[in-house]
Structure 1
């Protein structure tokens, strides 16, 4: 077990903490929840940097890292939907995209014992999604049309990242058949 994998495990442990804090009746709870989410985002950046910089990339880490990211992001989007900040369709779109990526990752892992590493578009979409969701957690009074517009922008970017991964997956698995 290395430091990047420990940071991913810490991020996994933060998922229920975020949800519990988000729904506390305390007026400062949303700020604390945003802080937990920000800490998760920072550990995501740190574990990736440490893993690459110190050559600590592992198969376990290439599974734990995106799993922790997706569970945290899914929890955040479910919470802000349950709070009435964004529409339900946003969770459905996010879930379907993540389910498709999960199936693809499992398929890829089954065929190659590895997964596609993140690319710049995936990193940008993750960053934008974080900023949008953090803003919606911190400022739940944002007008509904703005909240919907912001989450739509974030979802469009994540779908574009998904398409880039899908094309890479098809290219890699197509090459293996030849």
Structure 2
């Protein structure tokens, strides 16, 4: 079996671990109101996100499943945290709704590309920048409980803008792949 078709790899287990951290972070934030510990747990999740990519590339454990599963773990973590934060910061509803629409539509296009071409694309630079901005924004909202509205709104606007740019660029990439069968 070739590595690209493997499912049970260390990087994929790290992604699964990140999925398991989501309920813990939500519980720490909402039920226990332990915002610092929720922020710390989010950092652990972020570290495993970076580490799984490094391990996958360094030890030749990149798999098609991992290329699809890793972003799912990222987006579910981000979406869950945005839902948590939207309770206190109503303007966070905008990126929360955008990430939902973006991921559903991008996912549909990505599945069409995989089905038609067999190509499983990884994340592009703009997706990685969006992820970093989202994690920074979410972390600051968790760790800095009394974040001033002006900072909160500015960070949220920056994330939303980058998310929109990424949505457009992924749409263009996937449509080109569907149309030309090459990129």
1:24-173 paired onto structure 2 within 5 Å: 24-26=31-33, 29-84=34-89, 86-173=91-178
Which stretches in structure 1 are left out of the alignment for 5+ residues?
none
- Provide the rounded CA distance (Å) in 1 between the counterparts of 2:17 and 2:68: 14
TM-score (norm 2): 0.87
Please name the residue that 1:3 is paired with. Answer: 10
- Provide the rounded CA distance (Å) in 1 between the counterparts of 2:117 and 2:20: 29
Q: 1:142 to 1:68 in 2, by over 3 A?
A: same
Q: Is the contact between residue 106 and residue 167 of structure 2 (CA under 8 Å) also seen in structure 1?
A: yes
Cα offset, 1:17, TM superposition: 0.9
- 18, 23, 35: which one aligns with 2:30: 23
TM-score (norm 1): 0.90
- Provide the rounded CA distance (Å) in 2 between the counterparts of 1:114 and 1:5: 19
Please name the residue that 2:179 is paired with. Answer: 174
Q: Is the contact between residue 2 and residue 56 of structure 1 (CA under 8 Å) also seen in structure 2?
A: yes
Q: 1:38 to 1:86 in 2, by over 3 A?
A: farther
The 10-residue stretch of structure 1 (121-130 or 101-110) with the greater mean CA deviation from structure 2: 101-110
- Provide the rounded CA distance (Å) in 2 between the counterparts of 1:89 and 1:120: 23
Cα offset, 1:54, TM superposition: 1.5
Q: Is the contact between residue 25 and residue 38 of structure 2 (CA under 8 Å) also seen in structure 1?
A: yes
Cα offset, 1:115, TM superposition: 2.9
- Provide the rounded CA distance (Å) in 2 between the counterparts of 1:5 and 1:36: 19
Match of 1:23, SS state, is helix
Cα offset, 1:90, TM superposition: 3.1
Q: Alignment RMSD, CA only?
A: 1.8
